[in-house]
Structure 1
Amino acid sequence: MTRHQPSALTRSALIATAALAVGAAGAVTAPVATAATQPGTPKLNLIAATSAVTVDRWEGESGVYLDLGTYVTVDGGPLEFRVKRKSYNDPVIASQIIHSGGRTVSKSLPKGLVKDFSGLPGFLRISVSDQSGKKVAETKQTFCPNNRAGRIRPDAPGTSKYPESCSDNPFTLGGVWGVEKGWAAAASPGFASNEALDLQPGVYTAKVSVAKKYRDLFGMSAKSQSVKVTVRQGSDEGEGVAAGRHSTGAAGMSLKPAAQRPTGSAAVPAGAPKPDLRALPAYGIDISDGEDGDAPGKDYLAFSATVWNGGPSPLVVDGFRSPGKKKMDAYQYFYDANGKQVGYTPTGTMEWDPREGHQHWHFSDFASYRLLGADKKEIVRSGKEAFCLANTDAIDYTVKNANWHPNNTDLSTACGEETSVSVREVLDVGNGDTYSQSRPGQSFDVTNLPNGTYYIQVIANPDNRLKEQSTTNNVTYRKVVLGGTPGARTVTVPKYGRVDAP
């Protein structure tokens, strides 16, 4: 796959047997926090959905990834946060939103508490002891309120209005976190490469608690939870790991594919809202010999890049195939504020990509990647010019009309099959489409380039085929410094404002 694989995908189905559920003893309940709060202020408690979990230690991995079945329950009012930064030169600012008596109150979280958009850092404290009672490991975990949330009471809202994950894209600009009243969210992020604990097969006890600073902030009880952990040896590395993002949530605005290609005169309606495609700086930058090793002796500059939609309208592109044709004719659609289609225009073509790791319909000329010299003149252009559009990353859910529950969040929901006669590809407001550039022909061949300063240029809508609100934010540059020698090239990536994401 050349698509970016986010860490929000967890292996909880494999590494833990815990699930939030109503057991034989009845519904999960939690004591009420003792702190005096105004009406509508959420009351939070830490619970354990089960007293025992089993996790696998897989061959080739450095340890186990603890998903202990602990949850944060919410009552009294919904738990909601808005997280934002003005620019990449500004810090991340987080506020708790309290809905009380028809009023909305914004309460700033302590300065510096939240540093990115992945959740509340250091929220959980976990201490692991062996059967003799000796402490053998301890760790801290981030709490994403959007993580694997579910109802704990039958009278709670049937669906959640909040997003289903927190963003791990280093260039995210705004986020919304939340748990509905009468719901609970998983306290553990599950599979995360920086949180593996080196536990050998055996039986342990994990003591789980909420850090004091968060207990004080939210008026939570100091009560901890204990969970028996059985570590067993797994043998098939990577078995069952998801290969792409999966959508499990309800859709926002319903935009169903047209049954046939549009008729009548094509027109871009005056005044109709349009998407605003914006390029983010490249990240995940490294030297590679090509994902499949099929170009030995070459050095490639690999990276990830995101184009996102700042709204206020979704980008909707339909492809229609004439019998026997290898390409589809593509059309961009326009909608009014109520989601009613009010126009369309031809916008190029879609083509089937049969290569391994692709095998889906690509919309041509969505973005372009180029390597520029220190003078910002083009040196190398990536061969990647066509894309399957999918909402892989939440970039800014605070913008107008942001869709917190996009439908097409992976390739299987967005990009059709070889035999498809039509395809709809959507990039929703507030969401981004991220691709990694790792294959020869897509990444930049830097084998014979001299050492020095270069820029990775990311361009959204490079040929202006798509109609947008603005094209002034379609280009970004990320500075890189090449070093080393052929076969042993190096790359140094300076910070981008406050963002230190090579």
Structure 2
Amino acid sequence: MTDVRSGRRRSRWPAVGVAMGALVLTGAGVSAAEAATAQPALTFVAATRSVTAERYVSGDEVYLSFDLGLHVIAGKDAFEIRARRTGYDKPITAHRTVVKKGKKSQVALPAGTVKDFTGLADFTTITIKNAAGKVVTSYKTSFCGNSYSSARTRRDAPATNPYPTRCGGENPFTLGAVWGVQAGWNAAVADQPATSAPLAKLTPGKYTAEATIAPKYRKMFGVPDRNATAKVAVTVVDAKVDEEGLAAARTRDAREEPAMAQQVAAAGHDRHAEEGDASRQVSSFRPEFRAAAGRPATLAAAPKAGPKPDLKSLPAWGISLSQENRKWYVNFGATVWNAGSSPLVVDGFRRTGTELMDAYQYFFDAKGKQVGSRPAGTMEWDDRDGHKHWHFTDFAQYNLLKADQKFAVRSGKEAFCLANTDAVDYTVKDAKWRPDNTDLSTSCGANTVVAVREVLDIGNGDTYSQDRPGQSFDITNLPNGTYYIQVVANPAKRLSELSTANNTALRKIVLGGTAARRTLSVPKVYGITG
């Protein structure tokens, strides 16, 4: 499982999702104090000289807790990479932001440096040797720099970190990402292999782990060899597996990694409730959208000019087939994102004694000053399990269309709690890299509130995954053939935005099989299988 905020992948105990122990290192790398003096572009450091790693065995499977505690520290300037593709069928290109004499410029990175939106490919090589000096295992990890747990490492470092808390790429239709390490701040470096197999080779005993930045990145970013490697003495021991041990591991996991809920791709709204408050920061574009404003006494029309949101629908993804109570359903994930010049801000005001709110969209000028508002429909309390919050009823609509693109079935999901779940394109102007409302507990309100504010920030998408109640189509009585999942943003045109020409996206699916055993195939779109 991957912590997309810190770029860290951890071996997990099967079925119960528990992290085991922590393995931290320091050694041949330089200290934070030395890094402040020399200040190369990047310095590779770690935390302790020797650690103990716990080994867990379950049948034929072997799992090792493995947290090397590797960090990169940026020098006198922030380390920043921007990765983007101009279309879903286009390659990802990446540029590094370079500062010379106070001026910023973009330097293209070599082709193949970035293969996806999870970070710089094969950034680190981790080699583990036994007591005799023989290599037991070796593997490579990527690096993006974004981390919810980063901190400044020297007194003269800037007070805040502007970079996102996660790498991006959870959504297969991501267009652009920004990765960075603030000057003088640290960022965690991934220390886990893609699978548990390399670590399963480690039996109880003494080892030495050596981690090093790949030579091409040392040259590319001007990292001296002396700042690019760290070693640690590792003692692997068998851990006792029992209920008490698993409970302790769960407690440790919750304490050490409060944001683990964002590890799973396509989690969408399923991860909000667990995500917590880790990504809050003050916006540079406009004031905090924390509590709803008062109900407007007079309404101003939507400004003809000035910043506005621009809602775009992405093709449905994470599509699957399921059966329940003898009925067949097509489940899907759907994302609507804001590519505009202003956040989408919707305030709801409760009709006293009811479970309805009147909703209003608010407008702001380039400096964040509120300049108008207008009615935008309603919000309603959703009491179903998996929701239990206020939904804006006029945000999106999901339809299943026939091969001729005429209506066939409508999804039961018709109302939405707005929250910034996915970094779709953080390279667009004024994108909010650290959005405030990323979890349901702070975004959508309880049933005891009198007002609520819901926001979709610039560059961010709101994904509802295929596991949400109502997020499906009943296809029990539909004949086999070709269909299209239609995702429509702003279906009733109640929201004012820059354009409504990009509000609809289609994704082709093919139904087959028999009434007793339906089948589903999902052709690629733009080469994407997600």
Q: TM-score, normalised by structure 2?
A: 0.82
Aligned ranges 1:37-48 → 2 under 5 Å: 43-48=41-46
Give the structure 2 partner of residue 278 of structure 1.
Answer: 312
The Cα of 1:129 is off from its aligned counterpart by: 4.3
Q: Deviation string for 1:262-305 (max 9, x for gaps)? A: 1123422231321101111111122234xxxxx33333222211
Using the alignment, how far apart are the partners of 2:111 and 2:151 within structure 1?
30
Root-mean-square deviation over aligned CA pairs: 3.2
Give the structure 2 partner of residue 167 of structure 1.
Answer: 168
Using the alignment, how far apart are the partners of 1:6 and 1:329 within structure 2?
38
Give the structure 1 partner of residue 438 of structure 2.
Answer: 409
Give the structure 1 partner of residue 291 of structure 2.
Answer: 257
SS in 2 for 1:235: helix
Using the alignment, how far apart are the partners of 2:54 and 2:511 within structure 1?
42
Distance 1:357 1:91, change over 3 A: same
Give the structure 1 partner of residue 189 of structure 2.
Answer: 187
Amino acid at match of 1:46: F
Amino acid at match of 2:179: W
The Cα of 1:251 is off from its aligned counterpart by: 2.5
Using the alignment, how far apart are the partners of 2:380 and 2:411 within structure 1?
18
1:287 and 2:327 equivalent? no
Amino acid at match of 1:328: M
Distance 1:15 1:119, change over 3 A: farther
Q: Which of 342, 346, 357 is the matching residue for 1:317?
A: 346
| Aligned 8 A contact 2:481 2:510 in 1 | yes
| Aligned 8 A contact 2:55 2:63 in 1 | no
SS in 2 for 1:160: coil
Task: Please identify, of 59-68 and 404-413, the stretch whose mean Cα deviation from structure 2 is larger.
Answer: 59-68
Using the alignment, how far apart are the partners of 1:460 and 1:353 within structure 2?
20
| Aligned 8 A contact 2:490 2:503 in 1 | yes
Amino acid at match of 1:340: K
Aligned ranges 1:35-74 → 2 under 5 Å: 43-51=41-49, 52=51, 54=53, 57=56, 63-64=63-64, 66-74=66-74
Q: Which of 448, 469, 474 is the matching residue for 1:419?
A: 448
**Percent of aligned pairs sharing the same letter:** 50
Using the alignment, how far apart are the partners of 2:413 and 2:199 within structure 1?
40
Using the alignment, how far apart are the partners of 1:418 and 1:167 within structure 2?
32
Using the alignment, how far apart are the partners of 1:348 and 1:433 within structure 2?
19
Amino acid at match of 1:43: A
Give the structure 2 partner of residue 225 of structure 1.
Answer: 230
Using the alignment, how far apart are the partners of 1:359 and 1:453 within structure 2?
35
Distance 1:69 1:420, change over 3 A: same
Distance 1:483 1:126, change over 3 A: farther
The Cα of 1:310 is off from its aligned counterpart by: 0.7
Give the structure 1 partner of residue 151 of structure 2.
Answer: 150
| Aligned 8 A contact 1:481 1:492 in 2 | yes
Q: Which of 210, 213, 231 is the matching residue for 1:210?
A: 213
| Aligned 8 A contact 1:266 1:346 in 2 | no
Amino acid at match of 1:29: E
The Cα of 1:112 is off from its aligned counterpart by: 2.2
Distance 1:58 1:471, change over 3 A: farther
SS in 1 for 2:220: helix
Amino acid at match of 1:159: T
Amino acid at match of 1:186: A
Using the alignment, how far apart are the partners of 2:203 and 2:48 within structure 1?
20
| Aligned 8 A contact 2:22 2:66 in 1 | no
Amino acid at match of 1:346: P
Using the alignment, how far apart are the partners of 2:199 and 2:23 within structure 1?
20
Structure 1, unmatched stretches of 5+, are: 34-40, 290-294
Aligned ranges 1:446-465 → 2 under 5 Å: 446-465=475-494
Give the structure 2 partner of residue 114 of structure 1.
Answer: 114
Using the alignment, how far apart are the partners of 2:203 and 2:106 within structure 1?
47
Using the alignment, how far apart are the partners of 2:9 and 2:455 within structure 1?
27
Distance 1:459 1:355, change over 3 A: same
The Cα of 1:402 is off from its aligned counterpart by: 1.1
Q: TM-score, normalised by structure 1?
A: 0.86
SS in 2 for 1:344: strand
The Cα of 1:362 is off from its aligned counterpart by: 0.7
Distance 1:251 1:55, change over 3 A: farther
Amino acid at match of 2:167: C
1:501 and 2:529 equivalent? yes
The Cα of 1:74 is off from its aligned counterpart by: 1.5
Q: Deviation string for 1:26-58 (max 9, x for gaps)? A: 85534999xxxxxxx962222112232656759
Distance 1:256 1:408, change over 3 A: closer
Q: Deviation string for 1:84-108 (max 9, x for gaps)? A: 1111121111011101102222211
Using the alignment, how far apart are the partners of 1:501 and 1:64 within structure 2?
32
| Aligned 8 A contact 1:79 1:180 in 2 | yes
Amino acid at match of 1:50: T
Give the structure 2 partner of residue 177 of structure 1.
Answer: 179
Give the structure 1 partner of residue 267 of structure 2.
Answer: none
The Cα of 1:444 is off from its aligned counterpart by: 1.7
Structure 2, unmatched stretches of 5+, are: 11-17, 255-259, 262-270
| Aligned 8 A contact 2:331 2:472 in 1 | yes
The Cα of 1:238 is off from its aligned counterpart by: 6.4
Task: Please identify, of 231-240 and 465-474, the stretch whose mean Cα deviation from structure 2 is larger.
Answer: 231-240
Q: Deviation string for 1:308-366 (max 9, x for gaps)? A: 11120110011111321111111111111111111111111111111221111111121
The Cα of 1:205 is off from its aligned counterpart by: 4.1
SS in 2 for 1:213: helix
Amino acid at match of 1:171: F
The Cα of 1:179 is off from its aligned counterpart by: 1.0
The Cα of 1:133 is off from its aligned counterpart by: 5.5
SS in 2 for 1:63: strand
| Aligned 8 A contact 1:206 1:229 in 2 | no
SS in 2 for 1:110: coil
Amino acid at match of 1:250: Q
| Aligned 8 A contact 2:36 2:184 in 1 | no
SS in 2 for 1:150: coil
Give the structure 2 partner of residue 269 of structure 1.
Answer: 303
